Amino acid sequence: MPAQLFFFRLLSFNQVEWLYPDGRLQRGSLSELATVAGGTRQIMIAPGEAVILHLAPLASRKRSTWARAIPYALEDQLAEDIEAIHFVLGNTPDGDRLPVALVSHETLRAWLAVCDQNGLTPAAIIPEPLLLPWQDGEWSLLLEDRRVVVRTGRWNGFTTERDTLGLLLTEALIDAGDAKPRRLRLWGQAASEFSEPAVAEVERQIASDPLEALPLFAAAYQSGAALNLLHGPYSRQAQWGRWFLPWRATAALAALWLLLQGGISIYDNWRLRQELVTLRVEMEQLYKDAVPGATRTPNPKVQLEARLKELLSSGAGGSSLLELLSYGGQPLIKHPDLFLRGFSYRDGQLDLSLQGGDPAVLDQLRQELNQQPGLQAEMRTTQREGQVESKVTLKKSAS
């Protein structure tokens, strides 16, 4: 008898929401979830803020070339290096394009780490926009308290906060061209109050049931018909068994050696995972400090980027802040030993508070900042309780 499906999604790295196979909905801690999810096929719903959905053009119909060609075809549209991104490819093309889901390795590993620490083993991780009901000629929207999940096509969609919905809907309509939706289907408690000028002329249909996200996602889920993020190096399939079958005796000896010799490595790996979870919690707190009133933080980095986009409409001050953040952020990406502890902006001056690094790394960062045209950079470094702390001040140069 096939295992029952058990759907859950992370509300934070400590709280989770799950749907029992009988339809009951509950929220609690990850440890509570682990006690009731045993023996089921666990399906994790990935927050749409952390996943980018694309339809990538196919330069070749040869399946063997897709995994190599698609990342480079999308490279110009990504803010991060392609080596830091996990690409999930659809099994079949949609016309002359291939469905692709993108999520950072760091984010996916963090999800799996927190699941593993609590005894959870997801069989699939599905982006939430692809679990909304959809028909040709329609767009689907699920309205929650502060966020909206949107599906604009068989393989397209996004999740955003309510404040940025209008901007993203306008962009989606531009991308749709002549294939604009004839109707909007709305779910959620506030569906009847939905009002957005970007789609004011589009017919809308309000669904009365279900009103909660997980029952809606579970009803629309079809195994094999959605992009599973547990693909490639994250696959849970029986590839280990096929690989080790001819080498069972050798593998047994290797496992014994690893058991005897790998204690320190296992401890270090556990410690790094704990630090990762701690850093995630700190990142959530930094976002909440920077954005008063924020409650859900499934991916603080993506949410903060969305907030910064809003500054584009706030005048010269917002543009100056974004430019200074861009100038300062690009060199920082090259130095993983430096941690950004906070920043402040006032009267055209951006102050970055950094921790870590050594004199050589800090000197290299200073040179990279000063080499950027139109930027004036100053750095002050102190050492406190064995930690190197630096303050970088960025201004636009007068020239």
Following DSSP, what letter does each residue of 379-399 receive, concatenated?
EEEEEETTEEEEEEEEEE---
Considering the domain boundaries, does residue 308 fall inside one?
Answer: no
pLDDT of residue 243: 43
Domain span holding position 363 = 314-396
pLDDT of residue 106: 94
Which element (helix H / strand E) includes 306?
A: helix 300-310
Q: CATH number of the domain at 370, please.
A: 3.30.1360.100
pLDDT block averages, 10 residues each, the chain of length 399: 86 87 91 90 94 86 77 79 89 86 93 91 94 93 93 94 92 90 91 88 88 91 84 68 53 72 78 81 73 66 66 52 79 83 83 86 86 85 84 82
- Total number of domains in the chain: 1
Considering the domain boundaries, does residue 385 fall inside one?
Answer: yes
Amino acid at 348: G
Considering the domain boundaries, does residue 286 fall inside one?
Answer: no
Does residue 155 contact residue 53 with C-beta atoms inside 8 Å?
Answer: yes
Sheet harboring 5-10: ordered strands across?
25-29, 15-19, 5-10, 41-46, 124-127
In a 13 Å sphere around the CA of 142, the CA atoms on its Cβ side amount to 25
Contacting residues for 306 by C-beta, under 8 A, at least 6 apart: 49, 160, 161, 164
Considering the domain boundaries, does residue 318 fall inside one?
Answer: yes
Considering the domain boundaries, does residue 340 fall inside one?
Answer: yes
pLDDT of residue 240: 46
Considering the domain boundaries, does residue 13 fall inside one?
Answer: no
Considering the domain boundaries, does residue 345 fall inside one?
Answer: yes
Does residue 369 contact residue 394 with C-beta atoms inside 8 Å?
Answer: yes
pLDDT of residue 283: 76
Considering the domain boundaries, does residue 381 fall inside one?
Answer: yes
The secondary structure of 48-114 as a DSSP string is: GGG-EEEEEEPS-S-HHHHHHHHHHHSGGG-SS-GGGEEEEE-SS-BTTEEEEEEEEHHHHHHHHHH
